[in-house]
Amino acid sequence: MAKSLGPVKRKFSPWTDPSAVPFIRFENITKRFGDFTAVDNLTLDIYEREFFSLLGPSGCGKTTLMRMLAGFEEPTEGRILLQGKDISGVPPYRRPTNMMFQSYALFPHMTVEKNIAFGLEQDNLPKGEITTRVEEMLKLVKLEQFAKRKPNQLSGGQRQRVALARSLAKRPKVLLLDEPLGALDKKLREETQFELMDLQTKLGLTFLIVTHDQEEAMTVSDRIAVMDKGLIMQVATPAEIYEAPNSRYVADFIGDINILEGTVASTGSALGAPGTVRIDCEGIAVSVEQECQAVVGDKVAFAVRPEKVRISPDQPADTSVNAVYGEVWDIGYLGDFSVFLVKLADGRVVRAAQANVSRLVDRPITFGDMVWLTWPLDAGLVLTR
Amino acid sequence: MASVSETHPANKPNPARWLVVAVPYLWLLLFFVAPFLIIFKISLSETAIAMPPYTPLFEGFGAFGDFVSELDLDNYLFLTDDPLYIEAYLSSLRIAVISTFLLLLIGYPMALAMARAPTMLRPTLVMLVILPFWTSFLIRVYAWIGILKPDGLLTLLFQSVGLLGADDQVQIFRTDYAVFVGIVYSYLPFMVLPLYAALEKMDNTLLEAASDLGCPPWKAFWKITFPLSLPGVIAGSMICFIPITGEFVIPDLLGGADTLMIGKTLWTEFFGNRDWPLASAVAVILLIMLVVPIMIFQNQQKKVA
């Protein structure tokens, strides 16, 4: 193991420890609404103190899964274990989970203070302790001077903070966040993502977040489950999901990627062993160095992220493999990056992204230029699913 | 680019806007203030055997001096003298308070069930609540006579299921109970609709949030649902309480001789005794009794908001 995938956020990986006991376990969960299967025989383990994301397009069943954990829906089949105990049939008001709602669901007739105190009052805590905890929470989300305001007198960002404070006030074992930052603008959202991560580490809670925003999931999570049509496609760390997606679906859902369909021409080693796989992608010869999961003749997809593709007007030394030639067809300027869409002779389009590292370029590549795209052996992926 | 609001067209005085605002005020002036002033004027005059049956008070501006000197509060003084009127007022208020409370008790669960019904079903339920209006109010109250009278449908029903013997009869016709039945029946839509309007727009995730925070459903009702429906409760109660206080038809048709309500007294004074000035005084007092508390209440509401 000389190389690893991407940066490591923190030394925390209980899922690699076979003796670790999962904090939350979804066991063969199926949920049907009439004829529609929202969640399909799904099994998933989440560990204590983990920041876990459920990521997928709308309608993939991620929210249903979370609502089953909160107790708003009961699974049709299977069971949910929390710290080893089956929580089926336990009503939401007796579960040690708290949820931050997508719409925030703040009580409009109560002040910020009262909203935050609501959960604590249900536990019949002494008045003094409630006051202390509410103050603590207000300080945590920096809303001390807004304690007496009603929700409709707050901005969107402030409301979101109140919702967070309210769901944290009871110090739940698991905090569920349903698209928590959807309503915020990009800057505020990024700020809040880092604050959430900070909070999670500071308070040592388990966070489960539902989102359709892949950037958000990548930023905050220890692990991500990518879902589609009620199924989990892949559960892995953000770096694994990005650098080693297990299927065309995951590769395509997360980030930008070039996918070329092809056939395995040769494998450098036996199935499962590291080696060089050669693929013929309808005229483009591609070589990939990775553990081989296919045999000669298999229909596979070759995938490579645009930022790993080099673009140059100069012909590379070796054009026989991992190199294509085409015309710049469109350029997307994103500020930090430029994305070039290069049209090959046969009409296929390959994207290459280039970091704009200097402000002035000697010889800028522009529309209509003929360019070479190349990528190293370890840049691409073979996708068998 | 100073302040945008200063130059915003909506903030400029616009004659067309005044016209729109003027319409409701004109309406109030024509159909509330003017009739009230006429009634008030009559209440200050004396009965006369004439057509109309009261002494004229105001005949041109030249006679303004006479007008002021002839004003007399005799009718109002008479109202305080005779305990009948005070009792009628109090009895009306009592019946209105009890009826409004009963209406809330019955109307709230109905409105709540309607608001929680599947979205597809709701228009039908609202239609069902409104449906009785398609028949004349008077006919519907008469129908209750057929149900409540001693040999009516209610007696037959109770006899057939064995709750009553063959010779027994339900004895509530021409009592206050029959009046309550009639009032609650007649005013129920006026209570249900504002309540429904308030409950229907409530966000159900609020109840999920309450439950998530450890609040069981029955408690969440009192902590979340009820407080948020208060505008509907107040609107429904006002809409029912005010006309019930002055109700005349229901106590007249369903009530007994001892059912004392100011609406009935008013009718007797106008048409039985032909004492228009006194009847007008009764009406003025009734109006003040209802308007003043509402104004105080609305002022309070403004301060709260």
Nearest CA in chain B to A69: B212
List the single residue in B203, B213, B228 with the smallest CB-CB distance to A118: B213
Chain centre to alpha carbon of residue A373: 29
Q: Do B216 and A123 touch (CB under 8 A)?
A: no
- Range picked from A1-5, A47-51, B94-98, B130-134 for highest mean pLDDT: B94-98
> Is pLDDT of A200 > 90?
no
Q: What is the mean pLDDT of residues B108-123?
A: 94
Indicate the helix (H) or strand (E) that contains A40: strand A36-46
| Torsion from C-alpha of B277, B281, B282, B283, nearest 10 degrees | 100
- pLDDT (0 to 100) of residue A301: 83
List the single residue in B211, B224, B228 with the smallest CB-CB distance to A92: B211
Banded pLDDT at B62 (limits 50, 70, 90) = low
Q: Do B205 and A108 touch (CB under 8 A)?
A: no
Bridge partners of A325, per DSSP, are: A372
The Cα–Cα gap between B48 and B121 comes to: 60
**Sign (positive or negative) of CA dihedral A55, A59, A60, A62:** positive
Q: If DSSP codes are grouped into helix, strand and coil, which group holds residue B3?
A: coil
Q: How many CB atoms lie within 10 A of CB B4?
A: 7
Taking only residues 180 to 209 of chain B, the set having a beta carbon closer than 8 angstroms to any beta carbon of chain A reads 203, 205-206, 208-209
Residues in chain B within 8 Å Cβ distance of A107: 206, 209-210, 224
Computed over every residue of chain A, the mean pLDDT equals 84
The Cα–Cα gap between A168 and B258 comes to: 63
Q: Give the pLDDT confidence of A212-271 residue by residue, as tens digits.
A: 888 888 888 889 999 888 888 898 888 888 888 888 888 888 888 888 888 887 777 666
Q: If DSSP codes are grouped into helix, strand and coil, which group holds residue A83?
A: coil
Q: What is the mean pLDDT of residues B266-280?
A: 86
Q: Do B228 and A108 touch (CB under 8 A)?
A: yes
Residue B52: asked if its preceding bond is cis (omega within 30°), the reply is: yes
Q: For residue A255, is it left (φ>0), alpha (ψ between -120 and 50) or beta?
A: left
Q: Is this complex scored with an ipTM above 0.90?
A: no
Residues in chain B within 8 Å Cβ distance of A71: 211-212
Q: Give the pLDDT confidence of A176-186 residue by residue, as tens digits.
A: 998 887 767 77
The Cα–Cα gap between B153 and B145 comes to: 9
Q: At what angle do helices B83-116 and B176-200 cross, to 10 degrees?
A: 40
Banded pLDDT at A372 (limits 50, 70, 90) = confident
* Higher per-residue pLDDT: A364 or B7: A364
> Is pLDDT of B5 > 50?
no
Q: What is the mean pLDDT of residues B72-94?
A: 85
Give A263: exposed, middle or buried? Use CB within 10 Å, 0-12, 13-18, 19+: middle
Q: Do A107 and B224 touch (CB under 8 A)?
A: yes
- pLDDT (0 to 100) of residue A2: 46
Q: Do A99 and B212 touch (CB under 8 A)?
A: yes
Give A195: exposed, middle or buried? Use CB within 10 Å, 0-12, 13-18, 19+: middle
Please choose, from the candidates A379, A335, A331, the residue with its C-alpha nearest in 3D space to the C-alpha of residue A357.
A335
Is residue B294 within 8 angstroms of chain A, CB to CB? no
Q: Do B216 and A93 touch (CB under 8 A)?
A: yes
Position A81, amino acid: L
Q: Do A105 and B209 touch (CB under 8 A)?
A: yes
Q: Where do the domains of chain A lie, and which CATH numbers do they carry?
A: 14-249 (3.40.50.300), 256-383 (2.40.50.140)
Smallest CA–CA distance, residue A207 to chain B, in Å, is: 16
Banded pLDDT at B1 (limits 50, 70, 90) = very low
Banded pLDDT at A356 (limits 50, 70, 90) = confident
**B279 half-sphere exposure, CB direction, 13 A CA radius:** 19
Going from N- to C-terminal start, the domains of chain B cover 82-274
**A51 half-sphere exposure, CB direction, 13 A CA radius:** 25
Is residue A194 within 8 angstroms of chain B, CB to CB? no
Q: Do A119 and B213 touch (CB under 8 A)?
A: yes
Q: Do B206 and A107 touch (CB under 8 A)?
A: yes
List the single residue in A71, A92, A109 with the smallest CB-CB distance to B228: A109
Exposure string of A42-60, with b = 16+ CB inside 10 Å and e = fewer, is bebbbbbebbbbbbbeeeb
Is the distance from CB of B214 to CB of A172 less than 8 angstroms? no
Bridge partners of A310, per DSSP, are: A374
Residues in chain A within 8 Å Cβ distance of B215: 93, 118, 122
Length reported for chain A: 385
Smallest CA–CA distance, residue A203 to chain B, in Å, is: 19
Please choose, from the candidates B259, B72, B94, the residue with its C-alpha nearest in 3D space to the C-alpha of residue B178.
B259
Pairing mode, if any, of strands A97-100 and A24-33? Answer: unpaired
- pLDDT (0 to 100) of residue B178: 92
- pLDDT (0 to 100) of residue B56: 66
Q: Do B214 and A170 touch (CB under 8 A)?
A: yes
> Is pLDDT of A112 > 90?
yes
Alpha helices in A123-155 (DSSP H): 127-140
> What is residue B81's DSSP assignment?
H
Length reported for chain B: 305
Please choose, from the candidates A277, A110, A385, A256, the residue with its C-alpha nearest in 3D space to the C-alpha of residue B228.
A110
Residues in chain A within 8 Å Cβ distance of B228: 108-109
> Is pLDDT of B286 > 50?
yes
> Is pLDDT of A107 > 80?
yes
Q: Do A122 and B209 touch (CB under 8 A)?
A: no
Nearest CA in chain B to A172: B213
Those residues with Cβ within 8 angstroms of residue A46's Cβ, 6 or more apart along the chain or in another chain? A22, A23, A24, A25, A52, A206, A208
> Is pLDDT of B2 > 60?
no
Q: Give the pLDDT confidence of B247-256 residue by residue, as tens digits.
A: 888 998 998 8
Long-range pairs for A249-253 at CB < 8 Å and ≥24 separation? Answer: A249/A385, A250/A226, A251/A303, A251/A381, A251/A383, A253/A55, A253/A56, A253/A57, A253/A214, A253/A226, A253/A228
Banded pLDDT at B258 (limits 50, 70, 90) = confident
Percent of chain A with pLDDT over 70: 94
> Is pLDDT of B187 > 90?
yes
Joined tokens for residue A81: 């274990």
> Is pLDDT of B9 > 70?
no
Please choose, from the candidates B174, B303, B304, B292, the residue with its C-alpha nearest in 3D space to the C-alpha of residue B242.
B292
Residues in chain B within 8 Å Cβ distance of A108: 228
Residues in chain A within 8 Å Cβ distance of B211: 71-72, 91-93
Computed over every residue of chain B, the mean pLDDT equals 85
Residues in chain B within 8 Å Cβ distance of A92: 208, 211-212
Joined tokens for residue A290: 């990775």
> Is pLDDT of A110 > 90?
yes
State if pTM tops 0.80: no
Assign domain B82-274 one CATH number from 1.10.3720.10, 3.30.460.80, 3.30.70.260, 3.30.9.30. 1.10.3720.10
End-to-end CA distance of chain A: 25
- pLDDT (0 to 100) of residue B212: 92
Lowest mean pLDDT among A126-140, A287-301, B73-87: A287-301
- pLDDT (0 to 100) of residue B191: 95
Q: Do A91 and B216 touch (CB under 8 A)?
A: yes
Those residues with Cβ within 8 angstroms of residue A383's Cβ, 6 or more apart along the chain or in another chain? A245, A246, A247, A248, A251, A259, A300, A301, A302, A303
Q: Do B214 and A119 touch (CB under 8 A)?
A: yes
How far lies B33's CA from each of A29, B11, B30, B39, in Å? 69, 31, 6, 10
Is the distance from CB of B225 to CB of B149 less than 8 angstroms? no
